Amino acid sequence: MRNAYISALYDIAKRNKQVMSLNADIGAIVFDKFKSDFPDRFVNVGVAEQNMIGIAAGLASCGKIPFTYTITPFITARTYEQIRVDVCLQNSNVKIVGVGAGLVYSTLGPTHHAIEDIAIMKTLPNMKIVSPADPIESKMATYAIAEIKGPVYFRIGTAGEPKIYDENYEFTFGKGVELKHGDDVTLIATGSIVYDTLMAAKELELKGISTRVINIHTIKPLDKDIILKAARETGAIITIEEHNLEGGVGSSIASVILEESESQIKFKRIGLNDIFCSYYGTHQELKTHSGIAKEDIIREVINLIKLKDKQVK
């Protein structure tokens, strides 16, 4: 996703001279082409993330379109108040790009994991949040957010995510995507875990459970229609995210359903259960340890279907 983002940004910058990349000493090699072809429009501000956001807001006030980039906690949590005042309060045209969504920086530990970024970014007025599921979506979404005037938080993975989409995929900001139709239960996921969710759905299908899968790539504003339709048609929803349950996308979806759905529905969130992940190993091993792996999704679906059946009887 990272490389897809950077090559799209390069392409956008080629056509729009206002586009800039601001980095806080992260992005070795991968930014080399951007840096050498647009030397005035690439600035490594140093290891100084708070300063980077303020600078970006200043640049934006002069018509520039800065894309700021570093590891997620350092660009969301470290800089939170700069984003709040300099970017969101003044509706500045600054893009906040956090690399390393969820637990993907597995061995780097809790300081580098991104598990509360969605929560803190979504609570800011004017902020929009986009969280692509694969490299193609990362690329298409980069073009889309460049067109949006105002703050956007873009939550991307790193490298090597499996592909979900092909090159013909068209990304529409604010619109969830039904990846698989189904009638018994709906799985709504965001980010690279959409892939695990799809794999789980395929296995569930073999067990005779008709499973719908929705990729909710835009977390704010949420696509209420696709959520309410799923609630109506399947009566059971599970949300899946590589993020803390507190304040995650599941909690946003729960609010929509509770306030606006007229159907009786069964609901469950899958995510990190309010813990830091002080566990090491591969990304997959961390997901398993944290209870957000494919097997966990399958188990929760089966449990929820049982509850739903009971309710019908």
Partner 1 sequence: MELEEIAKNIRKKIFLMSYRAGSGHIAPSFSCVEILVALYFKILNIDKNNLNDENRDRFILSKGHASSALYSILAKKDIIEEKLLDTFCQKDGILGAHPEAHSIPGIEVSTGSLGHGLSFGSGIALAGKIDNKNYKVFVLLSDGECQEGSVWEAAAFASHHKLDNLVAVVDYNMLQSLGKTNEILSLEPFNDRWKAFGWGVKEVDGHNISKIIENLASLPYTNNKPSVLIAHTVKGKGISFMENVPLWHYRIPNNREEIEIALKELGLDRKEFEEALK
Ligand X SMILES: Cc1ncc(C[n+]2csc(CCOP(=O)(O)OP(=O)(O)O)c2C)c(N)n1
Q: What is the DSSP letter of 102?
A: B
Residue pair 173/180 in contact by the 8 Å Cβ criterion:
no
Give the H/E segment covering residue 33. helix 32-37
3-state DSSP call for residue 290?
Answer: coil
> Is 54 or 135 the residue whose CB approaches ligand X more closely?
54
Which range in 71-79, 124-132, 183-191, 256-264 contacts ligand X by CB under 6 A? 71-79
- Asked if 51 is part of the footprint of partner 1 (rule: CB under 8 A), the reply reads yes
Place of tokens 């929803």: 237
* Residue from the set 5, 69, 74, 105 that interacts with ligand X by CB under 6 A: 74
3-state DSSP call for residue 99?
Answer: strand
The tokens for 106 are 């597995």
- Asked if 217 is part of the footprint of ligand X (rule: CB under 6 A), the reply reads no
- Asked if 255 is part of the footprint of partner 1 (rule: CB under 8 A), the reply reads no
Task: Give the x/- contact pattern for ligand X in 22-51, rule: CB under 6 A.
Answer: ---xx--------------------x----
Considering only residues 107 through 166, tell me which ones interact with partner 1, judged by CB under 8 A.
107-112
- Exposed e or buried b per residue across 127-141, where buried means at least 16 C-beta atoms within 10 angstroms of its C-beta: bbbbbbbbbbbbbbb
* Residue from the set 78, 122, 139, 287 that interacts with ligand X by CB under 6 A: 78
- Asked if 109 is part of the footprint of ligand X (rule: CB under 6 A), the reply reads no
CA atoms within 13 A on the CB side of 124: 29
- Asked if 278 is part of the footprint of partner 1 (rule: CB under 8 A), the reply reads yes
Residues in the interface with ligand X (CB under 6 A) total 6
Residues in the interface with partner 1 (CB under 8 A) total 27
Q: What is the dihedral of CA 153, 157, 162, 163, to 10 degrees?
A: 30
**Which residue from 116, 104, 134, 145 is spatially nearest to 245, judged by alpha carbons?**
116
The tokens for 294 are 């494919």
The item of ligand X, partner 1, none sharing an interface with residue 93, based on CB under 5 to 8 Å by kind, is: none
- Asked if 154 is part of the footprint of ligand X (rule: CB under 6 A), the reply reads no
Which stretches of the chain bind ligand X, using CB under 6 A? 25-26, 47, 71, 74, 78
Residues that bind partner 1 (CB under 8 A): 23, 25-29, 44-48, 50-51, 73-74, 78, 107-112, 278, 280-282, 285
